Amino acid sequence: MTPLNLEIYDEQLIAFIRTQTEKSKESPLQYITRLIQSDISHQRELPIEDAISLTQSIFSIYAEEYKKRFGVEAPYENGEARKVVGQTVAEMLRSGLNLEQVQEKLSHAVSWYLNFHENQDSNGQNYPYGLKYLFSKTNNSWLLRSCIESSYKLNDKVFRLMQSSGLSREEAIRSVRRGDRAGSQVQESKVARLDDALKIYAKVRKFREFLPKDFKFLPQIDLLFKSETPDEKYITEAVDFLKKVLVVMEKKHGER
């Protein structure tokens, strides 16, 4: 076998290797060889069947979230999408994360991508919410990382409320804060009624392309989105108003 001769000219890398070999009492060759052997061993230990299963799970989560978000089946994606998702899963597993951690991070990212990420590129063009785009469109999967980071900036309670009720980040945070402040039975009742109103608003919001841009700020519903809980009479009237708007929208444009 022909030996491999390495010549390293990166001063920062050389300094790092020297520091590490001083600690481990190895030669540079021994140190580099040990790291590479460890990496090879780690790759061999990658649970291939689990990685394949997890990749399929991400596709299933995407399909479910897509149908919930848009009301139609997710578009078909060829093997390239499965390849880039599989590569990301394998890379994350090799980094030391376990299966549960990888699934949690990627399912959060997919949900954020479909429900809360603005699907416009730097030129203002809308792009399709596809898994291939999410996992590989930009260098080093910047889009995927941004979705993971954005979803983890919220606590799980807020994120799940955004998912289940279709609320924006700000609306969900306000709703949680109001719930946290609820003390008396009267206040708890008002908060529950307010949450019902916001759920109806979320249904109306699906027709946002047909609504005026300042719809959220109409006096009939404006107080629903403030930090303080409005009185029960206002909430009741807001619910009635939103229900009427929803009926009109569904008659004109169909249910969503």
Task: Please check whether residues 29 and 54 belong to one and the same domain.
Answer: no
The whole-number pLDDT of residue 163 equals: 67
The whole-number pLDDT of residue 128 equals: 77
Greater confidence (79 vs 163) lies with 79
Instruction: Please determine, for residue 88, whether its predicted confidence score (pLDDT) is greater than 80.
Output: yes
pLDDT band at 184 (very low <50, low <70, confident <90, very high): very low
Nearest to 141 by CA among 102, 109, 101: 109
* Arithmetic mean of pLDDT, 157-168: 68
User: CB–CB of 243/236 below 8 Å?
Assistant: no
Task: List residues bridging with 183 in a β-sheet.
Answer: none
Which are the contacts of 168, defined by CB distance < 8 A and separation ≥ 6?
116, 162
Task: Please check whether residues 21 and 35 belong to one and the same domain.
Answer: yes
Cα–Cα distance measured from residue 204 to residue 200, given in angstroms and rounded to the nearest whole number: 6
Task: Please check whether residues 135 and 230 belong to one and the same domain.
Answer: no
The whole-number pLDDT of residue 39 equals: 67
Task: Please check whether residues 225 and 242 belong to one and the same domain.
Answer: yes
The whole-number pLDDT of residue 191 equals: 65
The whole-number pLDDT of residue 186 equals: 43
Instruction: Please determine, for residue 242, whether its predicted confidence score (pLDDT) is greater than 90.
Output: yes
- Percent of the chain past pLDDT 70, that is, above it, reads 75
Instruction: Please determine, for residue 202, whether its predicted confidence score (pLDDT) is greater than 90.
Output: no
In a domain, 2, yes or no: no
User: CB–CB of 21/27 below 8 Å?
Assistant: yes
pLDDT band at 156 (very low <50, low <70, confident <90, very high): low
- Lowest mean pLDDT of 29-43, 106-120, 206-220, name the range: 29-43
Instruction: Please determine, for residue 206, whether its predicted confidence score (pLDDT) is greater than 50.
Output: yes
Task: Please check whether residues 60 and 135 belong to one and the same domain.
Answer: yes
Structure tokens at 174: 């306000």
* Arithmetic mean of pLDDT, 62-77: 85
Nearest to 103 by CA among 53, 44, 151: 53
Task: Please check whether residues 148 and 58 belong to one and the same domain.
Answer: yes
Instruction: Please determine, for residue 18, whether its predicted confidence score (pLDDT) is greater than 80.
Output: yes
Question: Which pTM does this prediction carry?
Answer: 0.49
In a domain, 246, yes or no: yes
E strand spans, 36-186: none
Task: Please check whether residues 86 and 103 belong to one and the same domain.
Answer: yes
Task: Please check whether residues 59 and 149 belong to one and the same domain.
Answer: yes
Domain count, the chain: 3
The whole-number pLDDT of residue 141 equals: 74
- Identity of residue 234: Y
Proportion of the chain in helix, strand, coil states, percent, rounded to 5:
70, 0, 30
Nearest to 128 by CA among 66, 79, 173, 85: 66
In a domain, 162, yes or no: no
* Arithmetic mean of pLDDT, 20-39: 82
In a domain, 161, yes or no: no
Which residue range is the domain that position 115 belongs to? 48-153
Task: Please check whether residues 145 and 187 belong to one and the same domain.
Answer: no
Instruction: Please determine, for residue 217, whether its predicted confidence score (pLDDT) is greater than 80.
Output: yes
In a domain, 104, yes or no: yes
The whole-number pLDDT of residue 121 equals: 63
Mean pLDDT taken over the chain: 78
In a domain, 158, yes or no: no
The whole-number pLDDT of residue 183 equals: 41
Which are the contacts of 219, defined by CB distance < 8 A and separation ≥ 6?
none
